[in-house]
Amino acid sequence: MIKKIEHLGIAVDDINESLKVYENLLGTSCYKEEIVESEGVKTAFLHVGESKIELLQATNSTSAIAKFLKKGRKGFHHVAFEVDDIDAELDRLKKLDFILIHQTPKDGADNKKIAFLHPKSTEGLLVELCQEK
């Protein structure tokens, strides 16, 4: 079951420069930076009430974020929903004909198990499911 919006992912060219903007905008500080090798990204997280903003900077030219930025799409990248049981949620959504990018969860940033749904099946929006490890 989907519990809440966990975070909004924002693709940026330079995470340090973007942190200055978002820390000033939100009136809060980054609480965590992390490199996720499997995704080819450096992340930075900021709290916004019960949700978070995740800034994503590519660490290599083949990462999804690098490809996204090359298309001139800097900015909003994905919405992440927190779920109780990511395996059960993937099974439920697959039965409803959603296209899964990840058939099984993988390790993600901020101590989460994650999986993405393809935008073709979600009205053009990249959706991430995440569950606390």
Predicted TM-score (pTM) of the model is 0.92
Tell me the three state secondary structure of residue 124. coil
Tell me the three state secondary structure of residue 59. coil
Burial 93-109 (b: 16+ CB within 10 A, else e): beeeeeebebeebeebb
Among all chains, which residue has been given the structure tokens 């039965």? 95
Asked whether residue 73 carries a pLDDT value surpassing 90, the answer given is no
Q: What is the mean pLDDT of residues 66-74?
A: 91
Give pLDDT tens digits for 100-113.
999 999 999 999 99
What per-residue confidence (pLDDT) applies to 72? 85
The bridge status of strand 75-83 relative to strand 127-132 is: parallel
Structure tokens at 108: 């993600």
pLDDT band at 58 (very low <50, low <70, confident <90, very high): very high
pLDDT band at 26 (very low <50, low <70, confident <90, very high): very high
Question: Are 13 and 72 spatial neighbours (Cβ–Cβ below 8 Å)?
Answer: no
Q: What is the mean pLDDT of residues 49-64?
A: 96
